[in-house]
């Protein structure tokens, strides 16, 4: 498994990380239907054999459950995994979600995460969403204090735009940004990706397979048969019309590209993400060991310029079919250097 240094930190992350959102299970607003804890623990342990050395979770995933399961799986393996978790998304006694970036809340959240994960420090502590916007400086000051206290090793952010990162950079270093990035969501290409490359901020891309759609296993019937409590069924626009029909066309075309390379659509989707400068790693959501057995080997796939161009043309056709107009980019995202 290939590793890359995360921004200005000394964390050498495997380019495929394990995402623990779906592992949080059902019973909350953004659950993925039923999830077997046994499968989750097995997947995490198996990922280690495959060279995965970091896990991304969050308190809100399953309202604490994901962190507890990660804690269970890494028992006795603390030195083998970097652990990344987040703060800022909280819930009340009825499970209603809310945002809080006050110093007091962040301080409380980190203690709760350490207890659920059963560890004494967190390697990467990230602000989950920049909400409320006027509190990001207060949260960042607290995160820098937690770093000084040794409770976390590095601070990162998620879902921030460039001006928001610039504001908190005045307070302390930002080692990473966690944005969505996949073939269907290329918003960060406008300015974020090159800003991060120039500022030595590592990008850990979330939803690299567009929440499973870019594995090629879904069609209209399979989506209809997703359980009612899988948030993708009602809330993910890529899984619904008018986008779905065009996305399924694209996936058919990607399958032809993948077949020629003798890889799967999931692997092609991940290789496309990690082929960019500033993208340190792709966080692949994993529900069982079979899934990570397929996705981890994407680490070794390097896509040629010709293949990237072919995919670029397909994405352009998709955008045209959907009437999506991309704002002009300052410059093209650069290819990952150094391999």
Ligand X SMILES: NC(=O)c1ccc[n+]([C@@H]2O[C@H](COP(=O)([O-])OP(=O)(O)OC[C@H]3O[C@@H](n4cnc5c(N)ncnc54)[C@H](OP(=O)(O)O)[C@@H]3O)[C@@H](O)[C@H]2O)c1
Q: How far is the CB of 215 from ligand X (least distance, A)?
A: 4
Binding span for ligand X by CB under 6 A among 15-23, 68-76, 246-254, 304-312: 15-23
Instruction: Answer for the pair 48, 81: CB distance below 8 angstroms, yes or no.
Output: yes
Neighbours of 288 (CB within 10 A): 17
Residue of closest CB approach to ligand X: 285
Instruction: Answer for the pair 116, 86: CB distance below 8 angstroms, yes or no.
Output: no
285 binds ligand X (CB under 6 A): yes
Task: Give yes or no: 61 in active site.
Answer: yes
The residues in 122-141 that bind ligand X, with binding defined as CB under 6 A, are 128
Q: How far is the CB of 34 from ligand X (least distance, A)?
A: 10
Instruction: Answer for the pair 319, 282: CB distance below 8 angstroms, yes or no.
Output: no
209 binds ligand X (CB under 6 A): yes
159 binds ligand X (CB under 6 A): yes
- Which residue number, 148 or 294, has a Cβ lying nearer to ligand X? 294
- Which residue number, 29 or 332, has a Cβ lying nearer to ligand X? 29
Tokens describing residue 206: 């979330």
287 binds ligand X (CB under 6 A): yes
Give the CA distances from residue 138 to residues 142, 186, 318, in Å, rounded to whole numbers and listed in that order: 6, 30, 41
211 binds ligand X (CB under 6 A): yes
Alpha helical stretches, state H, 187-304: 192-199, 220-224, 232-235, 243-261, 265-274, 289-295
Helix-helix angle 243-261:305-322, to 10 degrees: 170
Q: Which residues bind ligand X (CB under 6 A)?
A: 19-22, 32, 56, 128, 158-159, 178, 206-212, 215, 217, 266, 283-287, 291, 294-295
Q: Which residues belong to the active site?
A: 61
């Amino acid at each position: 498994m290939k590793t890359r240094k995360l921004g200005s930190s000394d964390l050498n992350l495997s380019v495929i990380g394990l995402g623990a959102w779906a592992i949080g299970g059902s019973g909350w607003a953004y659950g993925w239907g039923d999830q077997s804890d046994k499968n989750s623990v097995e997947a995490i342990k198996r990922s280690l054999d495959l060279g995965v050395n970091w896990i991304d979770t969050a308190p809100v995933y399953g309202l604490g459950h994901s962190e507890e399961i990660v804690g269970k799986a890494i028992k006795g393996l603390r030195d083998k995994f970097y652990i990344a978790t987040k703060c800022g998304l909280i819930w009340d006694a009825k499970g209603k979600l809310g945002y809080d970036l006050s110093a007091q809340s962040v301080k409380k959240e980190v203690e709760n995460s350490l207890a659920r994960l059963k560890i004494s420090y967190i390697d990467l502590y990230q602000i989950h969403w920049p909400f409320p916007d006027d509190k990001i400086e207060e949260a960042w000051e607290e995160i820098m204090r937690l770093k000084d206290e040794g409770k976390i090793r590095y601070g990162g952010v998620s879902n921030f735009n460039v001006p928001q990162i610039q504001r908190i950079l005045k307070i302390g270093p930002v080692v990473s940004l966690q944005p969505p990035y996949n073939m269907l969501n290329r918003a960060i290409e406008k300015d974020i990706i090159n800003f991060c490359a120039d500022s030595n901020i590592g990008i850990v891309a979330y939803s690299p397979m567009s929440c499973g759609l870019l594995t090629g296993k879904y069609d209209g019937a399979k989506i209809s048969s997703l359980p009612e409590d899988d948030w993708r069924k009602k809330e993910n626009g890529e899984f619904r019309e008018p986008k779905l029909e065009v996305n399924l066309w694209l996936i058919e075309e990607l399958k032809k590209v993948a077949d020629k390379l003798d890889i799967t659509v999931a692997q092609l989707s991940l290789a496309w993400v990690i082929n960019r400068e500033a993208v340190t790693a792709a966080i692949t959501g994993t529900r069982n060991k079979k899934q990570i057995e397929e996705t981890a080997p994407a680490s070794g796939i390097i896509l040629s310029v010709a293949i990237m161009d072919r995919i670029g043309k397909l994405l352009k056709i998709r955008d045209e079919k959907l009437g999506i107009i991309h704002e002009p980019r300052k410059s093209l995202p650069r290819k990952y250097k150094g391999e």
